[in-house]
Each structure stands twice: as C-alpha cells, then as structure tokens.
Chains A and B, each alone.
Chain A
Amino acid sequence: MPGQQSVQTICPFCGVGCGMNLLVDHQESVVGVSPQSDHPISKGKLCAKGWSTPFAIEPGDRLKHPLIRTPNGFRAASWEEALEVICFGLEDIITRLGPDAVGVISSARASNEDNYAAQKFARAVLGTNNVDHCARICHSPTVAGLKQTLGSGAMTNSAADIDQADVIVVWGSDATENHAILGGHIIEAKLRGATLIVVDPRRTRLAKLADLHLQVRSGSNILLANALLHEIYRHGWQDQAFLDARCEGAEALAEAVADCSPSRLSEAIGVPASQIQTLARIYGQAGNAMIFYGMGITQFVSGTFNVMALANLALSCGQMGRPGTGVNPLRGQNNVQGACDMGCLPNVYPGYQDVADPAARQRISDYWQCLVPNRTGLTSMGMTRAALRGVFKGMILFGEDPVVTDPDQNEVLASLKALDLLVVAELTMTETASHAHVVLPAASFAEKNGTFTNCERRVQLVHQAIPPVGESRGDWQWLGAIARRLGSKALDWTDSQAVFDEMAAITPNYSGMTYPKLARHHGLQWPCNETAPDGTALLHQTSFPIGRARLIPVHHVDIDEPADGDYPLQLTTNRLHFHYGCGSMSRKSPLLERETPDGILFINPLDAQSLGLRDHSAVGVRSRRGYLETRAILTDDLPPGLVSMPYHFHEAPSNQLTNRAMDPISKMPELKVCAVRVCPLPEGQQPRPIQAILAQTSGSDPQETSG
C-alpha cells in the first residue's frame, strides 16, 4: 500500500536534483517513491537510481550505533564513549603537532547544513583550514577554470534552457548515465529539432543519437577546442560585438590559435579534419548553442585548462548570458555544488571568500566570534600525502569512501593506516569505514531536514520522512556533539533552519534565501540576494562577476601516462546509470545490483581478439600502481586501444589502476586516462575480488593466501 504519508523531498543521488515524494508506511519505513509532476526539472520523471531510493536507505545493513576499533575488530559503543575516544584523540594530536595535523573530509552527498557545519568545525573548533570533499576529484578544475575566465565556477545556465538551445554540444559526459533526467532533456531537444553533437572517445548513448559524434582521442580536448577556435576566427564566425563589449584577450587568443588548423591537428585529435570543420561551422554559426561537459573534461592533468578552453569557445562565439547558451558543467553528486558553496575547500570560506584575503578572514572571525586560521589548508590528497609523511595524524570523514573512489587505492590505504585517529560517519560499513578507529552511524537524507544545491545552482529543501535508523544522527548534530565536548559552542544550533540562516547571512549568493521562501518556489537558484530576490536562472546576462570575461589562451598538455610497450592499452573510467559513487547506496537495490554486469572491463572486440578474449572471459588488469581481476565485456562502443571501467565496484576498483598525476592548478588527479596491460586468466580460473588479491600479496591473511 502506498504510504500513509507522502513526503516531498529531493533525490539524493545526483546533481540534477529531481523532485520526489517518499511514501512512508505505518511502521515509519520508506516503502516507495513517486516523482513530483510539478517539479521544474524532473517534471514527473526519475531515473533508475531515483526509483530505487527505498532500497538505498533501508535499515537492513545500516550502522545502528557507534563502533570502536579494538584489537579483535569493532565493538559496539555508546555515543558517549565514542565521543570521548574522538575528543581524546583530537586533543592529543593537536597538543603534540598543532591543529594542521588534523582535518575534515566532508561529503558532497550531505546537506548544505552538514557541510557548513563541517567547515566551521574545522576552522572554528579545530583551528585549521584542512577541509575538503570529493569535488576535488570531479569538478575542482571547473571551479578553478571558470572562476578565472568568467568569475564564477558554476553552471552558467539552467536545465530549463535546454528547451531554447538550437545546438547542444555534449563534451566528455555520458549524460544519460550519470545525469539521466538531464540527459533525457537533451534527447527531447534533439527530437524537437536541435542539433546534437557529442565529443567523446566512447560511443555513448547520446553519441548514438547525435547528428555528429567526434570520437576523439582521450586527452585531446585542448587541441580540439583550439582547432575549433582557429576555424571560427579564420571565418570570422566570432561574435565581435560581444567580444568588444564584454571580454578581453580576444586578439591574443586568435593569435594563439593561428597555427591550430584542423588539418594540422586532426591526427593528434583522432578525427578527420572535416568533422572539426563541421563542428566549428555549426557551433560558430548557431543561434543559441549550449555546451555541457563532465569528467571527460575535468579529470585530466590539463583539467583546468580544458575548462578554460571551453570557456574560450563559448565566449568567442558570444554564447553566454542568454537562455540556451553557456558553459555547463554536469556535477556528479547531489550536493557537490553546495559543498563547494559552503566552503568545504581548503582555500575558501563559505561563499568562495578567499582565506588569504585579510578582510574576508576578519569578516568570518567577527561573525563566528573566534579567530579563524588564514593559512590555506590541505586538499584531500594533500592530507593523504601528509599522512604518509607522518605530519598529518587525525581525520574526520563522512559520507565518502576514498578507498574506492580516490585514485591509487594502495596509497590511500597506506595513508589511512598511518593515522592515529580516523573517524568515519556513514550509513553502512564501507571499505574506508572498515579502516576507521571510530565509526559513527549517520542519518540518511530521508531522516533529516536540510537543503541540497543542484548543478544548476538551485537550492532545494529536503524533508525528514522517517526517524533516524537506530542511534544514527545527522552530520551537523554529531559534529556539534564533538564540538561541545571540546568546549566549543560554535555548532550549537537548535535545528537545520538555524544552521541555514547562519550560513545565508555570510554567504553572499545565499543571502536572500530562507526555508519558507525555498518552499514557496520549488527551490531558488543562486545568486539570490537583494538585487535578485527570486534567484537567478541565468548567469552573466549583462556583466561578469569579474567585470569583463577573460579569454586566456591554453595549450595542449600531454596526458601523464600514454600507452607504451609495457602497458599497451589506454584505460578510461566511466559510470553506469544504475550505480552511484562507491555503490554503497545503489548496490543495495536487488534490481540495480542485478544490472551489474559480471565483468566490468569494457574492451573493443579487435583488442579482445588479439588478446584471445571472448565475451565474459576472466582477465587480469595491471597498471604501474596495481592489479585487479574482472571479466571482459566486448563492445564496439570503445575504439581499439581504449578500454574502460566503471568505478562503482569495490571488488574490482578501477582506482587500483588509476593515476595520481595531478592538474597543477586544481590538484585534480588524471582519473580519465592511464596505461594498462590486460591478460587473460587461465581457463577455468574465476576473477578474485581485490580484497583477496591484496590479502594474498601482503600475506597478512594466511587462510586466504592458500585459496
């Protein structure tokens, strides 16, 4: 029977932020979902993940009370005990090594209120700017790149704009897998007559539906953007009036791309010059053209430059500031935008106020009534490295599973083992949590009130539908409990609305928002302030936050690890519609779990043939950093020479293999491409899960080594 009540909330899975109702039965459990037909983005639709929400949060394997590590494994503990262990550990490390030896990793899955609390906890209670979250590994280059060129690191337009685009360019994003409902809008636009162009090394679903697919070589984004610019300036397709009125640097850019002709670069890009010319013509002459991009742009050592290259393209053609235009990053997690906005980044306070700016520091210090630190903190990977060097000793982490989702798994594991105190708050026992000293049970999104900010900057209310499972608590609540024990009142709020109000008062883009106003409007898009009381659907209409936009020429950067004789195949990563992040939520659905293929190495039939592989053959995959086993799935969606793995699966984590080489500006690791070697396993041998392989190599578990 549908629920006794139906509670309006927002899908917890991705940055699209679809509206859903949770149906709650008489036993206070969530038994179903239904899509909100009047929601401005999802309009009565949900994707497979959204539909599976009741499974994702069901109590079965949820953590129900705090756990403390003992020599014989975890034991259940009271909150009191757990808090005592945590506070003792934190105080001890801070006394010995100072506050910069501890840090917080917050979660792009948690609410704005939780994220605001996390960074305030780090800054006001611990006294460090060591606070970060997973945007580092999805869209930090977006923030860095768009901030420099446009002055604001977010999606420039709105989902609703897709209706008004004449040309849609989807670049390095498989939008129907990870942002399915937005991907659906793109399909709709294509069917109504918009021209759809896809730039991707893989033949994605949208590529199959597109008017033109440029199946480029991995890592050639800047070459392609520059070749397009070359054509555009050569033919005079640039929007000179827009450039003159609103941008600077156009001349230098035109000069910089003068030698980037499609015919010269086409081989390096991997597509015929004619395709590049066609794309340049279509984009350069379009009425309204909208660019969407994803991790196929950001997860490179050239991530920030890639983003800037796309901005150059849009600005040159004046595709900015009108409906159906812009540069639009598709952000992965439901609240990655919000986690950035809240200042869960080591270099900015809430609202992107620079920690290095003395005025900002003064403002925040006055408001919080304590002196906040001004040294830029460590990124998540900085914390990992510092831990390996022995100068970083305590980490509080929630709603993330870096052991599965971060590059170079073995290094992450080693760094976690070097910590004196690792506190993990989670819904269920994840790989990372299993290495913690203290595990705290966290409340799911259905168990709390708060807000999420979707990829189009829309801040939306999430409503509590059921009581917290077991003794679990919301993140801002348990962070507050630790703070109180450490003698701080900084996190003493009565409810989530009080957290929001405090945050909105010092976060300029949110200053015009309140809970009642959000409820009235189906959410509000930032900036929402005195001049834009009803929010802003469209950024940069008449000016940029930095005045004039900057065209900054960028040059090709080689990928860090090209294929070579030893590691002859290039590995890229992808996502599956059915799964999300580390899989800890989506894999609880028996239906979605059934959709998981039995192997997850996607490979072109030609490559498979030369390796002697058939569909579903067991394979070993090795890179310079690690090794795993899985099965091969043959598909011509990938070109020969390129193999691909989704990263959701802890038994065969692609991050055993991925490369840590980083974009120097944003510190984004090059997750999108590294070199691997694939070899068939002997006939009859099953692929072993990574846990067994690691146990065997380290010899730590003699029982498993014999198996």
Chain B
Amino acid sequence: MMAYFLTDLAELTRHLGRTRQIWQHDARQDWFQTDATTPSPLVAGRPARSAKGFFFAEQEHVFEFDGRYFRETLPRPKPFALIGVSSCDLVALAYQDQFFADDPHYQARRQQGLLVGLECTTPCTHGFCPTVDAGPGARAGTADLVLHPLDDGWLLTATSTQGEDSLRGLSLAAASECAQQLRDKQLADCEQQFPDDHHIVEGARRLNAGEIAEDLWQHLGIQCLSCSGCTSLCPTCSCYGVQDQSSEQTISRRRFWDSCLYDGFQREASQHNPSADAGARVQRFWYHKFSDDFRQDFGRYGCVGCGRCEVTCPGVIGVHSVMKRICHE
C-alpha cells in the first residue's frame, strides 16, 4: 500500500482518462461521464444512486435463443474508472462482489472498472457508516485507489495492485507522515460529528433477539407502498427478476432489478404467496440488512449505513424511522 501526495487532482483524472472512461458524481446530478481533459471538481458524500448499477445493471439482456443456438449476451464495456466512490458504497460493492462472484455479467463489467474512493470528512444527512463499520474512512480491500482531501492537495493511496498499476507513468511524491496523521485526525473528527444513532444499534439487537412484536411489523407494513425505492437505491440489494421476450426470430431473456417489497415477488403461479402480507415483507427486508445470520455469510451486516432508504421511502419507513419505532414502541 503506497501513499502519495497529489497537488492537482486533475492530473490524476487526466492520467486515468487516457485509457479509461471517467465517471464522477456531483451532489445533485447522479453519476455522469466526464471529459477527463477538463474534469469537474469532485464532490464528497453520497450521490442519489450508489455505484451498484455500473456492475449489476438495472436491466440487461442475458441471452438470446434464435431457434437453434443460445447466445450469451455478455457486456463488453471499455475500461472505466469511478472517481469519488464513498466509503459506504465501496463496502457495498465488496458485498456485491461476493454475491455476484460467479455472475458473468457482473464480472464482465467489474473487471473493467477501477474504483477510486473518496473519504468523507463531514457526515452526510441520514448516514451512519461508522456504526456499521463502513466509513467514513475507506475500508481495507474495497477500493483500488483512495483519495483523502488535505488542505493543500490530496492524499492518494493505492490499495490494490490494479490501483498501483493504474498510476504508472504518473510522477508522484510520497506522502509525508504528517499527511497521514491529518487524515487520521480528520476521519476521527468526522466520526465524532455523526449524530447519535443508538437506535440503530439497539434496533439491530432487538431484531436479532426476536423482541419485536408482530403488530409493529403489521403496522409498518401498512406504510409500505411497495414503491421499490429502497431496494433500487440500497447499494447492497441484489434481487432481480427475469422475463423472456419473443420476437419474430428470437427469444431473449432479460433481467431487471426486482424488489422483495412487491407482493408479487414470491407469489407462485398457484397464487400461493409465502409473504403475502406487507408486514412480513418489511420484516424480511430489515432482517436481510441487520440479521446476524447474514453477518456470518458475508462477514458483515447487509446495511452499510448510507441512509438512502430514509430519503427515498415515501411511506416513512426508512432505516432511521424503522429503528426508532422498534426502539420506542
């Protein structure tokens, strides 16, 4: 792991842009492809959408059958770099990497992508990454390169071989001890500034201890409009549905993001539905995010503390709202 001092971020962007498409986000817009020769300034924090859609596409064709042959329709993206991925989103991608380890479509994109993290120095609204061990500093093994803002430039750390390789040809000075210390201090300060989120810890405890009354789930279920917003924006959600479409000559199968909050998600052709009631669906969602069972499989909670579900849930049952209700009712 090598740490460098970078005066001009544009220099890095231009360098990476020679061989890759460059994507960034600004606070308002979402991810957008930027012209690497005249890059726009980086914005820290969480964009509306996480980076998961770069690898697990919102919808894509998976194969075609022309009557005789099956043809896999693998994506072949050009190399690209995502600059400014927040620490929580990096952790979520590492989680998705496990889930999609054997998925050729995900992997075809993943192999072409370079992840450049950007560490937060102030908490974002609704975020609680420290509580779920996902930030504000980038977690080990989740990025290729990590940026941290300093007063007069950037601390740039190469955290993978691919990251180290990507810097080849760029002349960089090693970072001073002092820059490292400043980073640690800024991250510690940032952690201090997060609002009290005792309800998350206590809520997760009660959830795992099975201390939540059935009634409460029922009540929360009434508030779920099955909009699919939480599952679309949650960086660790990975459910998809498939549909076969036939045209004159071919049948093609596509898959698309699905949502476990839909009534139809588990409904069988017989109309039997193991999760026909909305309360049970809401319960399952939160179980997936905070259950110790999943922690064993994935080495961590399913929630990375990004806070997106709190913003996007029209029924007011995002993570903070739910956990507070669990603690107070």
Residues of A that sit less than 8 Å from B by CB: 1-2, 4-6, 21, 23, 31-32, 34-38, 43-48, 50-51, 54, 60, 176, 180-181, 183-184, 187-188, 191, 205, 208-209, 577-578, 590-591, 594-595, 598, 616
Contact = CB atoms under 8 A, between A and B. Distances in A.
Contact of B227 (A5, A21, A51, A54): A51
A1 B54 CA distance: 4
Given A44-B48, A46-B229, A54-B59, A5 B315 contact: no
A370 to B, nearest CB: 45
Interface string B75-87: 1010000000000
Contact of B48 (A37, A47, A176, A183): A37
A51 B232 contact: yes
A51 B314 contact: no
A31 B259 CA distance: 17
B222 interface: yes
21 contacts: A1-B77, A5-B32, A6-B29, A21-B29, A31-B58, A34-B48, A36-B48, A37-B311, A45-B311, A46-B227, A48-B227, A51-B228, A181-B314, A187-B223, A187-B315, A209-B222, A591-B258, A594-B267, A595-B226, A595-B263, A598-B271
A616 B264 contact: no
Given A31-B59, A183-B225, A188-B316, A591 B311 contact: no
Contact of B262 (A43, A181, A188, A591): A591
Contacts of B313: 45, 184
B320 interface: no
B316 A35 contact: no
Interface in B232-271: 232, 241, 243, 245, 256, 258-259, 262-264, 267, 271
A591 B228 contact: yes
A191 B48 CA distance: 25
B111 interface: no
A44 B264 contact: no
A591 B321 CA distance: 27
Contacts of A598: 271
Nearest to B232: A51
B230 to A, nearest CB: 10
A187 B317 CA distance: 10
B54 A2 contact: yes
B109 interface: yes
B24 interface: no
Contact of B243 (A4, A188, A590, A595): A590
Contacts of B30: 2, 6, 21, 23, 34
Interface in B29-83: 29-33, 48-49, 53-54, 57-59, 75, 77
B229 A51 contact: yes
B312 interface: yes
Interface residues of B, number: 42
B255 to A, nearest CB: 10
A45 B233 CA distance: 10
B28 interface: yes
B229 A45 contact: yes
A48 B232 CA distance: 11
A35 B225 contact: no
A188 B223 CA distance: 10
Nearest to A192: B316
Contacts of A5: 32-33
Nearest to A21: B30
A47 B316 contact: no
Contact of B264 (A50, A51, A591): A591
B77 A47 contact: no
A205 B245 CA distance: 35
Interface string B202-233: 00000000000000000000110111110010
Q: Nearest 6 pairs between A and B by C-beta?
A: A184-B314, A594-B264, A32-B58, A44-B311, A590-B243, A6-B30
Interface string B10-33: 000000000000000000111111
Contacts of B229: 35, 45-46, 51
A180 B314 contact: yes
Contacts of A32: 53, 58-59
Contact of B28 (A38, A43, A591): A38
Contacts of A43: 311
Nearest to A208: B222
Nearest to A191: B316
Given A2-B53, A23-B30, A594-B262, A209 B223 contact: yes
A595 B267 CA distance: 9
A37 B28 contact: yes
A6 B31 CA distance: 8
Nearest to B57: A1
Which of A44, A176, A191 has the most chain B CB within a 10 Å cutoff?
A: A44
Most chain B CB within 10 A, of A1, A21, A46, A209, is at A1
Contact of A180 (B28, B54, B225): B225
B267 A591 contact: no
A577 B226 contact: yes
Contact of A45 (B32, B241, B314): B314
Interface in B270-297: 271
A578 B259 CA distance: 13
Q: Which one of A4, A54, A181, A594 has the greatest number of beta carbons of chain B within 10 Å?
A: A594
A50 B259 CA distance: 14
B49 A34 contact: yes
B315 A616 contact: no
A595 B262 CA distance: 7
B225 A176 contact: yes
Contacts of B315: 176, 184, 187
Contact of B259 (A45, A60, A591, A616): A591
Given A31-B58, A184-B314, A594-B267, A48 B28 contact: no
A45 B312 contact: yes
Contacts of B227: 45-48, 50-51, 180, 577
Contacts of A46: 227, 229, 312
A35 B59 CA distance: 17
Given A37-B48, A176-B315, A577-B225, 14 more contacts: A1-B57, A2-B53, A5-B33, A21-B48, A35-B48, A36-B28, A37-B311, A45-B312, A51-B232, A54-B59, A60-B245, A181-B314, A209-B222, A591-B262
Contacts of A44: 48, 311-312
Contact of A48 (B53, B59, B228, B258): B228
A148 B87 CA distance: 58
B135 to A, nearest CB: 19
Contacts of A176: 225, 314-315
Contacts of B75: 1
Nearest to B29: A6
Contacts of B262: 591, 594-595
Given A21-B29, A34-B49, A184-B225, A591 B312 contact: no
Contact of A2 (B31, B241, B311): B31
Given A577-B225, A595-B262, A2 B232 contact: no
A191 B317 CA distance: 11
A50 B31 CA distance: 19
A60 to B, nearest CB: 7
A4 B228 CA distance: 23
Given A6-B32, A44-B312, A590 B77 contact: no
A4 B33 contact: yes
A635 to B, nearest CB: 12
A47 B312 contact: no
Given A2-B30, A31-B59, A187 B264 contact: no
A3 to B, nearest CB: 9
Interface in B291-329: 311-316, 321
A45 B321 CA distance: 15
Contact of B49 (A2, A187, A595): A2
Contacts of A183: 225, 314
A546 B246 CA distance: 59
Contacts of B232: 51
A591 B225 contact: no
